[in-house]
Amino acid sequence: MKHFFSFTFILFLNLTIGLSAGICSQNKNNIDPCSLIATEKLSAIFPTLLKAEKQSVGPETVCNYLDKMDIPALIISVTRAGTSVHRSLSMLGSGYVIEDISGLGDEAAIAIQQANPRFGLKEGIAAMHIKKGDRSLTFSFFRISLMPDEPAFDKIKALAAEMIGKL
């Protein structure tokens, strides 16, 4: 199942980056998402997140927040904004419901994975995508269970607002 999530994220990230590849390849201001927020702030919300690790994906850098098995549980990326957040998140496919969220950037939405017992998938937020000016900030949740009505989601939104402020 972790391979399915990893594959889905890599596909999503490649599609998102691919839409703005021409712009990204000229981006001399590649932003390190690991530098936008202290790992301890994320660990306070999700204690399973133990450390952050930078990784290059195409012309961009992502920040993998690893759990005790050194597997990414949360991946945060900053890219050049290429399209609407709805269009970006819709690339995940039909197993997701996209909902707008207010109070973040110029445009923000989440993709909620729908439960599918056949594949062992539970309902929960899979991604949060925020567009602010010419940048997009994306949170991809893999080994973290999160729903929009939970207090942890409000805390993640507050951290995302802090991160957006640094772009």
Torsion angle in degrees (nearest 10) through CA of 39, 101, 62, 74: 50
CA distance 149 to 39: 23
* pLDDT value for 148: 94
Quick one: the chain helix, strand, coil %, rounded to 5? 35, 30, 35
CATH architecture assigned to 35-166: 3-Layer(aba) Sandwich (3.40)
Residue type, 83: T
Confidence bin at 159 (pLDDT 50/70/90):
very high
Using a pLDDT cut of 90, give the percent of the chain over it.
Answer: 60
Query: Does residue 2 carry a pLDDT above 60?
Result: no
The domain ranges of the chain are 35-166
Q: How far is CA 16 from the centre of its chain?
A: 11
pTM of the model: 0.80
Contacts of 70 (CB under 8 A, 6+ apart): none
Q: In this predicted model, which residue has the larger pLDDT, 5 or 32?
A: 32
* pLDDT value for 83: 83
As given in the structure block, the two tokens for residue 119 are: 């594949």
Q: Which residues in the chain belong to E strands, given as ranges?
A: 51-57, 60-66, 72-80, 96-100, 107-113, 124-132, 135-141
Most confident residue range from 4-13, 25-34, 49-58: 49-58
